[in-house]
Amino acid sequence: MTFARPDHTSDLDTLPQMPAWVTSARAETLEDVAFLSGAALNHLHLVLGCVEVPQALLRDRLALRAAEACMAFSGRPERAGELRDAVHLMRPGDLPGPAGEVYQSWRRAAGRPVTVKALGWALPAVVPAQIAAWIDAGQGALVARAATVLETVLTEAPRQEVPALILADAALAQALGWDHLVPLLAAGQKRADLRKRGDDFRLACHRAVISSAIEAVRQAADLARRAAHLKAVAPKLRAKGAGDAVEMFLTRDAVAPSALPLPDRAARRLCDRLVDLGAVHELTGRDTFRLYGV
């Protein structure tokens, strides 16, 4: 996405922090919660404008968080580890399974600029004309617009939480002038929230945005530091294709050695080297079928 870079973001230590009055406020009325959600989104907008933040990686990690929330909504047991395995350990011709499909939908939705065509690729079961109609149903500003889209989809297509939440985040991104969808609404919702309607529903959406924006800002700062370290150690890597491999780590939540543009043994050695340098982490705790991420 394209933002103007704030002048005060030349150093990682000066990435703007979410104000304490946003993170600690306990607003109860719709008016007060709407004010706080707007403040949280404005701050997130500033943080996303910092060139130090690896935006594609942040969106991919938030997509995992959104997919995990959707698993909880549907009563399924899969969490982050299982979702990563379902998608990142697939071989050509494999199917991701229901949980993997949800995770893929979120990754695809967040991975391309927001358009009806891109959303259709993320949600192949929904026809483009319906996607366009649902997004256009949004009224009001920012969160109110997203909440209208979410409520409309859930009313017309009950139990379609994944398309509803993706399209609501798309409407929010458009309202904010963002090029890409940033997964926010799903992770901040409770299962019971999705059954609410009217002001209660909008109140839940505002609260979801506040909590998710706070977490997104925290993750942005953490990933900015980690990405800076990975870039700093990259010149020490001698393997052919190491530069392309580093770029993959800077844009993906998790990477399997087999996905790297190196022979299998060289890919595993590169991952071990990056772990030794503290630039990436092994995510599974396994001795085989490992996944790595910043």
Question: Other CB atoms closer than 10 Å to residue 165's CB: what's the count?
Answer: 30
CATH topology of domain 237-293: Arc Repressor Mutant, subunit A (1.10.10)
Residue 117 burial class via C-beta count within 10 angstroms: exposed 0-12, middle 13-18, buried 19 and up = exposed
Q: Which residues contact 134 (CB under 8 A, 6 or more apart)?
A: 149, 152, 153, 156, 167
Q: Which amino acid is at 38?
A: G
pLDDT of residue 131: 98
pLDDT in tens, 183-228: 999 999 999 999 999 999 999 999 999 999 999 999 999 999 999 9
Backbone torsions φ then ψ of 244, nearest 5 degrees: -65, -35
Give the residue carrying structure tokens 């991919």: 60
Q: Residue 111 — φ and ψ, nearest 5°?
A: -90, -15
d(CA 243, CA 10): 24
Distance CA(212)–CA(182), nearest Å, equals 10
Alpha-carbon distance 15 to 220, whole Å? 9
Q: Report the pLDDT value the prediction gives residue 103, as an integer from 0 to 100.
A: 98
Strand 281-282 to 292-293 pairing? antiparallel
* pLDDT attached to residue 9: 37
Q: What angle do CA 151, 27, 194 make, to 5 degrees?
A: 20
Segments of the chain scoring below 70 in pLDDT? 1-14
pTM beyond cutoff 0.95: no
The CA distances from residue 43 to 19, 53, 82, 104, 182, in Å, are 8, 14, 32, 28, 14
What pLDDT was estimated at residue 11?
55
CA distances from 167 to 5, 109, 186 (A): 27, 9, 11
- Cα separation of 169 and 147, whole Å? 9
Distance from chain centroid for Cα 235: 29
Q: What is the residue type of 8? A: H
DSSP one-letter string for 22-49: HHS----SHHHHHHHHHHHHHHHHHHHT
Task: Please tell me the predicted confidence (pLDDT) of residue 255.
Answer: 98
Give the single-character DSSP code of 281: E
Residue identified by tokens 């192949």 is 124
pLDDT of res. 192: 95
Query: Rounded to an integer, what distance in angstroms lies between the CA atom of residue 171 and that of residue 138?
Result: 7
CA distances from 213 to 102, 152, 264 (A): 22, 23, 38
Q: How many CB atoms lie within 10 A of CB 272?
A: 15
Give the end-to-end CA distance of the chain in Å, rounded to a whole number. 21
Chain position carrying tokens 């939480």: 161
